[in-house]
């Protein structure tokens, strides 16, 4: 029996991937860029076993066995990893055990509810790829492994690295140039924290996979975005990250989230991922930044919201502002679950009611229905996959 266990992080994009030019190989219509979140808080953990007694490849997700559809995404990833084992290990060292010929049993767990509306497929496929790479003792660097995780779920390729990660769309039909690269490690800018506002934990109506295909087929705005918007934003946000310029990072992140949702609205029939609570959170953060941008307050943005294919907000902010932002969100949006304060920002009395900077318009959120937020999760930028055990 050969066995390896790894964990892999969640990533949340600042420049969104939305649209495929090849649906089988999962090649995107534009490059994207994300922040890897700390797996001390949110992670998928995957154990892979290879044994001569196994009679087929099998998969368990959170303890429940799932079918591995022949020719499907999971089957493709497993087959690609076996191919690498053969090519890079067994053909080089002919005395190495021929693990590529054995069936595998794979068990994966998320430490967050799959239904929390967080991208569990990204951390899941990254953990699967990393765990098979450890099982097979592959010499492959993360960029090479990202080519395989990408074929499980596009956004998964960015979870193979920590810090700030770009997925270069590439131009080749084979997809060999469509991989992830690290723009900066988590140690470069550890000050970036994230607050996830879980607005709803029900499964989304339109999946990313089918939604983005409908957008490719029907949205003229997507074509404009691909050609005239994303290339410049990729460049500018990478520069902002290297310069640790949060104001610029925030401006681009929010603009790109808004354009992604505009592209969804430009799809026929339109796709709506945000709800009134999501929009009210936007209004609150925009007002928070409007006040922060006043010259007497420093003239720089202090927070950036972004939304994936669902209503939940992710707010990026420098560590120094997170306590204030949590209080602000808690003031407008009562939470259904007690805030777990992982960084110990608040005392035993909890978040409290918060206070506002001079000039903050407290009526700002009234434009929208400000319902409750289910829960708030505080985390920060983190590292790439970790090998937890190998035998
Ligand atoms: C809105 O990676 O889930 O989160 O490649 O079809 O599996 P598939 O789609 P997926 O799409 C993620 C879309 C997004 C934006 C992003 O993460 O960049």
Q: Tell me, what's the ipTM? A: 0.99
State the Cα–Cα distance between residues 157 and 144, nearest whole angstrom. 10
CA dihedral 307, 377, 385, 233 (to 10 degrees): 30
Q: In the predicted model, what is the mean pLDDT of residues 206-230?
A: 97
Strands across the sheet with 180-184, in order?
11-15, 32-36, 164-167, 180-184
| pLDDT tens digits for range 116-149 | 567 678 999 999 999 999 999 999 999 999 999 9
CA 256 to each of CA 130, 221, 237: distance values in angstroms, whole numbers, following the listed order? 30, 13, 11
Cβ contacts of 224 within 8 Å, gap of 6 or more: none
| pLDDT tens digits for range 88-114 | 999 999 999 999 999 999 999 999 866
- For ligand 1, atom 12, which residue shows the shortest CA distance? 155
CA atoms within a 13 Å half-sphere pointing along the CA-CB vector of 338: 7
Minimum-distance ligand 1 atom for the alpha carbon of 152? 7
Report pLDDT for 211.
96
Is the sign of the CA dihedral 111, 15, 384, 70 positive or negative?
positive
pTM for the complete prediction? 0.96
Report pLDDT for 116.
54
291: tokens are 């006040």
State the Cα–Cα distance between residues 116 and 187, nearest whole angstrom. 28
CA 182 to each of CA 136, 162, 237, 246, 312: distance values in angstroms, whole numbers, following the listed order? 24, 7, 13, 18, 26
- For ligand 1, atom 4, which residue shows the shortest CA distance? 308
Closest CA to 380 of 301, 302, 319: 319
Element (H, E) at 360: none
| pLDDT tens digits for range 267-300 | 999 999 999 999 999 999 999 999 999 999 999 9
- Asked if 154 and 22 count as a contact pair (C-beta separation under 8 A), the reply is no
Distance from the first to the final alpha carbon of the chain:
8
Ligand 1 centre to CA of 327 (Å) is 30
Ligand 1 centre to CA of 185 (Å) is 22
Closest CA to 75 of 14, 152, 174: 152
At 213, give phi and psi (nearest 5°).
-70, -40
Q: In the predicted model, what is the mean pLDDT of residues 48-76?
A: 97
Which of 9-18, 181-190, 239-248, 365-374 shows the lowest mean pLDDT across its residues? 365-374
State the Cα–Cα distance between residues 305 and 297, nearest whole angstrom. 20
Burial class (CB in 10 A: 0-12, 13-18, 19+), 356: middle
Is the sign of the CA dihedral 25, 28, 29, 31 positive or negative?
negative
- Asked if 46 and 385 count as a contact pair (C-beta separation under 8 A), the reply is no
CA atoms within a 13 Å half-sphere pointing along the CA-CB vector of 140: 29
Ramachandran bin of 19, using left for φ above 0, alpha for ψ from -120 to 50, beta for the remaining angles: left
Ligand 1 centre to CA of 346 (Å) is 34
Element (H, E) at 109: strand 104-110
Minimum-distance ligand 1 atom for the alpha carbon of 12? 17
Ligand 1 centre to CA of 303 (Å) is 23
**Is the confidence at residue 203, as pLDDT, over 90?**
no
CA 83 to each of CA 70, 124, 206, 260: distance values in angstroms, whole numbers, following the listed order? 16, 20, 34, 36
Q: Which residues have C-beta atoms less than 6 Å from ligand 1?
A: 13, 16-18, 26, 32, 119, 121, 153-155, 208-209, 308-309
Ligand 1 centre to CA of 18 (Å) is 7
Ligand 1 centre to CA of 97 (Å) is 36
Which of 15, 17, 29 best tests ligand 1's pocket when mutated (most atoms within 8 Å of CB)?
17
Ligand 1 centre to CA of 378 (Å) is 22
């Amino acid at each position: 029996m050969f066995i390896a266990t790894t964990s892999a992080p969640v990533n949340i994009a600042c420049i969104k991937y939305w649209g495929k030019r090849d649906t089988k190989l999962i090649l995107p219509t534009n490059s994207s860029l994300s922040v890897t979140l700390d797996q001390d808080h949110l992670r998928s953990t995957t154990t892979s076993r290879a044994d001569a007694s196994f009679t087929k490849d099998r998969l368990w997700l959170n303890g429940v066995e799932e079918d591995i559809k022949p020719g499907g995404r999971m089957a493709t990833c497993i087959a690609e990893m076996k191919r690498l084992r053969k090519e890079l290990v067994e053909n080089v060292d002919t005395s190495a055990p021929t693990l590529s010929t054995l069936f595998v049993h794979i068990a994966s767990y998320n430490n967050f509810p799959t239904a929390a509306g967080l991208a569990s497929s990204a951390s899941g496929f990254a953990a699967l790829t990393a765990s098979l790479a450890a099982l097979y003792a592959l010499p492959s660097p993360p960029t090479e492994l990202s080519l395989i995780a990408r074929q499980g779920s596009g956004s998964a390729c960015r979870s193979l690295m920590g810090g700030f990660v770009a997925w270069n769309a590439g131009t080749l039909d084979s997809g060999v140039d469509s991989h992830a690269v690290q723009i900066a490690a988590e140690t470069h800018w550890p000050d970036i924290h994230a607050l996830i506002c879980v607005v709803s934990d029900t499964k989304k109506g339109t999946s990313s996979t089918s939604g983005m295909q409908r957008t490719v087929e029907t949205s003229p705005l997507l074509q404009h975005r691909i050609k005239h918007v994303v290339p410049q934003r990729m460049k500018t946000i990478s520069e902002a990250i290297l310069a640790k310029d949060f104001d610029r990072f925030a401006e681009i992140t929010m603009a790109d989230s808004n354009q992604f949702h505009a592209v969804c609205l430009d799809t026929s029939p339109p796709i709506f991922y945000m709800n009134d609570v999501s929009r009210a959170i936007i209004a609150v953060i925009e007002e928070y930044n409007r006040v922060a941008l006043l010259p007497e307050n420093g003239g720089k943005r202090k927070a950036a919201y972004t939304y994936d294919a669902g209503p939940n907000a992710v707010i990026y902010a420098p560590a120094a502002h997170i306590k204030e932002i949590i209080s602000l969100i808690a003031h407008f949006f009562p939470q259904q679950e007690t805030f777990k304060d992982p960084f110990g920002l608040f005392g035993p009395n909890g978040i409290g009611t918060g206070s506002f900077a001079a000039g903050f318009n407290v009526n700002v959120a009234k434009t929208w229905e400000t319902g409750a937020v289910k829960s708030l999760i505080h985390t920060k930028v983190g590292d790439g996959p970790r090998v937890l055990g190998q035998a």
